[in-house]
Amino acid sequence: MWNSLNFNRDSNKLDFKNSRFVAFYIVLALVFLFYFYRLFMIQIVEGEYYKALADENRITIIREQTTRGIIYDRNNVVLARNVPTYDIVITPANLPADEGDTQRIYRVLSEIIEVPVNNGEINEETVRLYSECGTDFGITQIVYISGSLSPYQETGIKCDVTEEIARRVLEMSENMPGVGVRVNSIREYPTGYDTSEVVGFLGPIPNIVADDMENRGFLLDKDKYGYAGVESSLQDLLSGKNGHRVVEVDVAGLEKRDLEPPLDPVAGYNIKLTIDVRLQQVARAALLDTMEYWNQRNLTGPLTYDGAAMVMNPQTGEVLALVSEPTFENNRMTRYIPSYYYQQLSLDQSKPLLNHVTQVAQPPGSVFKIVTGIGAINENIVSPDQFINCPGHIFVQNSFSPNDPGSQQEYVCHVRTGHGQVDYIHALAWSCNLYFNKVGGGFQDEVPKGLGIDLLGQYAHALGYGEISGIELTGEETGMIPTRTWKRVNRGESWATGDTYLASMGQGYINASPLQVLGSFVTVANQGIHVKPTIIREVLDPRGNVILPFTPQMLWDITKDPKIMVYDQDDQETGEFKTVDPHVVELTRQGLRLVTQPGGTAEMAFEGDTHDSSAKTGTAEYCDDIANSKGLCQFGRWPSHAWTVGYAPYDNPEVAVVVFLYNGKEGSQSAGFTVRRIIDNFFLLKEYDLEKNGG
C-alpha cells in the first residue's frame, strides 16, 4: 500500500512536471513561430521593401550638374552666359584630429572670409533654421552641425566670394586640410535690360514642375528653371542633362565604391536668336525717346511709360527686335530673385513681367481697317473705285434685332468736316472712319448690306487675328475677335448694329497684341503669304555645330488657301471656303503706300523718306482699370492708344515694324515717328554691314 501511495505521488509529481514542460515548449514554439513568421514577412513578403530601405542607406546618387546653353543674337553677340562663382567650404572629416590645429585653421580662415570663429548658440530651434551659407553661426558651429550629420560632405562656410578671396584660400589650402573652394555657375546677361524681355531670367524650379524635373535628374535645391523669354520657352533645349554617379557609402557618408559606371553630364544646346542687338537698342531708344518727348509736353502730367515695338523680316518671319516697356532687369536676379524687387514688379500697374508685344492685347483701332477693307472689297460689298460719302458724322439706328427700333447713335470721322467722296485706297490713306463704318455695317441705300460681324471675323482670322502665331515665347495672347454667340454668352445680349460699326474700325470688343497686328500687315506686304514669326535662328551643340538650321515657314497664303467661309443669301454657312483675290491685296498695298505720301496720315512722320515705305497709323480709344481709376473715361473724350505699322520697301519689303504707345494719343503724331526712326536705322545698319563685309 505504501508503495502504491508512493507510486501515485511520484506519478502526480511527474505529471505536474510534464505539464510545465509542455507549457514551456508551447511558449517556445510560439516564439519560434513568431520569429519565423516575422523572418518570413521581412525576407520574403516585404523583402523588397526592406532591401530598398537598406540600399537607400548604403547607396547614394551623386548628381553632377550640367552646363546651361549660351544664348546669342544673330551676329554672335552673347545675350546669356554662365560665369563661375566661388564658395568657401569645409569637409569636417578631413580636418586635423588635433583640436588646436583645427582652431588655428578656423582663425586663419576667419580673417580671410570675415566669418567669426564662434558665433551663435546651438539648440534645437537654431539647428532647425540652419541653412548652408544662410546662417549667422560661426565657423565652429557650422562645422559642428555639418559634422554631426554628414562628416564627409563639404559644407559651405561662406558663399559667393570674390575670385580674389577664392584664389587666396586655394593657395593656403595645403596648410589648411579640410578647407576647399567649390566652384558654381550662375547666369549672366551681358546685354541686361536691353534684351531682358526676349531672354528672360532663371529662378528656382517651381513646384508645378518639381516632380517632373526631379525625375529627370535635376536638383531642386540647386538647378535653375527659366522664367520669361527664351530662358523659359526653350528650357528643355538650354538645360541639358545632369550626370550622376551611383556610389556605396558607409554610415558616415564616406564613399566606398562606384556601383555603376558613371554618366557624364550633357551640356545644353546653344541658341542663336534672330534678334539683332543693335536694332533692339535702336528700337528701345526710339520708343523711350518718343514717350519722353510727349511726357514733357503734356500739360497735365506724363502721358505714358508703357509701349511696345517689334521689328520683323516680312519675308522670313525673323524677329529682329522685340521691345516691351517697362520691363525688368534680369541681371538683378542672377544669384537669387530679391523678394522686394519681384513684389515691386508684380504690383506695378504697367505689368513689366509681361511681354507687351506678345502677352498683352489692346484695341487696335485704325490699323485694323485693312481687315474691313480687304473683306468688303473681296465680298463685293463695294467696288474699289466706288465713292463713299464722308460728311464728318452720321447717325445710325443702333438695333439689337431686325424688329428693334433701337436708338440713334452718332459716328464721327477723325476729320470732323469730313473727307467728302472717298474710294478704297484713299480711305486707307486718309484713315476715313465713316468709309469703314459704312462698308462694315452697311448704311441706308449707299451701302445696303455691309460686311457684317461674321465675315469680318473670318477675314480677321485669315490675317492672323485671334490666332496663336507659334512664336517661341510662352503665354502668347490670342486677343479677341468677337462673335454673336460670344456676346450673347458673355454679355447677356444680342449683337447690335453699333457693335459692327465699332468692330469695323478696330474698336468695341476687338483686342489684339502688337504681334498679331504686325502679322496682318506682313501678310499684306507679302502679297497674301502669312509667315510664322520666329526668334530662333539656329540651335547649336556645345561644339558649335548647327543642329537645327533656320528655315522660314509659310503658314498659309490667303490668295491660295481657302480660309473665308462662304455664306448663302440668308447669311447661313454653306460649309465651303474661298480665298482672297490677289488684286484686293494689291489694292490694299497701294492704299498703305499712300499713307506715307502727301495727304496721308503718316505724311509728317515719313517726310523725306527714301525707302519707299508703306504704313498705317491708328488711334484706339480705350477705357481700362487704370484709365477709370484716373477719371479719364469720359464719354466723347476717351483716352486713346497710339499705333503705327510700317514696312519698306514697297516692291520687295525687307523690314516691317509695329509700334504701340499706351495712352499715346494720335498714332500719326507719336508712334509714326518711332516707326520711321526704326526703319531708317535698319537700312543704316544694313549699309554698314555691307561696307564692313566688303559688299
pLDDT digits (tens, 9 = 90+) for 268-322: 999 999 999 999 999 999 999 999 999 998 877 888 899 999 999 999 999 999 9
Whether the pLDDT of residue 520 is over 90: the answer is: yes
Same domain, 537 and 448: yes
Predicted pLDDT at 503? 96
Choose among 298, 321, 307, 414: nearest CA to 352: 307
Encode pLDDT of 322-353 as tens digits.
999 999 999 999 888 888 999 999 999 899 99
Same domain, 577 and 452: yes
Secondary structure class of 198 (helix, strand, coil): helix
**pLDDT (average), residues 390-406:** 84
Same domain, 40 and 126: no
Predicted pLDDT at 254? 66
**Number of structural domains found in the chain:** 3
Quick one: what percent of the chain has pLDDT higher than 70? 93
Predicted pLDDT at 124? 80
CA-CA distance, 449 to 439, in Å (whole number)?
A: 8
Predicted pLDDT at 42? 67
Predicted pLDDT at 49? 63
Question: Cell numbers at residue 527, please?
Answer: 502679297
| Residue numbers of the domain that contains 33 | 2-45
Is residue 443 within 8 Å of 375, Cβ to Cβ? no
Same domain, 155 and 9: no
Is residue 362 within 8 Å of 662, Cβ to Cβ? yes
Query: 203 in a domain, yes or no?
Result: no
Same domain, 21 and 100: no
Predicted pLDDT at 46? 61
Whichever domain contains 515, its CATH number is: 3.40.710.10
Pick the last residue of a domain from 126, 155, 188.
188
Same domain, 459 and 363: yes
Q: Where are the beta strands (DSSP E) in 384-506?
A: 388-390, 393-398, 407-412, 420-422
Predicted pLDDT at 599? 95
Same domain, 506 and 633: yes
Whether the pLDDT of residue 85 is over 80: the answer is: yes
Whether the pLDDT of residue 678 is over 70: the answer is: yes
Query: 245 in a domain, yes or no?
Result: no
Same domain, 420 and 323: yes
Do strands 179-188 and 78-90 pair parallel, antiparallel, or not at all (unpaired)?
antiparallel
Helices (H) and strands (E) in the chain, counts: 22, 25
Q: How far is CA 35 from CA 27, 28, 44, in A?
A: 12, 11, 13
CA-CA distance, 365 to 640, in Å (whole number)?
A: 9
Query: 70 in a domain, yes or no?
Result: no
Pick the last residue of a domain from 188, 207, 232.
188
Query: 272 in a domain, yes or no?
Result: no
Pick the last residue of a domain from 140, 171, 188.
188
Choose among 366, 399, 604, 616: nearest CA to 503: 366
Whether the pLDDT of residue 5 is over 50: the answer is: no
Same domain, 305 and 170: no
Whether the pLDDT of residue 53 is over 60: the answer is: no
Angle at 524 between CA 518 and CA 529, to 5 degrees: 95
Same domain, 510 and 621: yes
pLDDT band at 2 (very low <50, low <70, confident <90, very high): very low
Query: 224 in a domain, yes or no?
Result: no
Same domain, 529 and 662: yes
* DSSP string covering 118-181: S-S---HHHHHH--TTS----HHHHHHHHHHH-TTS-EEEEEEE-HHHHHHHHHHGGGSTTEEE
Query: 132 in a domain, yes or no?
Result: yes
CA-CA distance, 432 to 411, in Å (whole number)?
A: 12
Encode pLDDT of 570-603 as tens digits.
888 888 999 999 999 999 999 999 999 999 999 9
Same domain, 39 and 125: no
More confident residue, 217 or 630: 217
CA-CA distance, 691 to 695, in Å (whole number)?
A: 6
* DSSP string covering 285-313: HHHHHHHHHHHHH-TTS---S-EEEEEE-
Query: 225 in a domain, yes or no?
Result: no
Average pLDDT, the chain: 89
Predicted pLDDT at 54? 55
Query: 658 in a domain, yes or no?
Result: yes
Quick one: what percent of the chain has pLDDT higher than 90? 66
Encode pLDDT of 113-141 as tens digits.
999 999 888 888 877 777 777 788 899 99
Whether the pLDDT of residue 473 is over 70: the answer is: yes
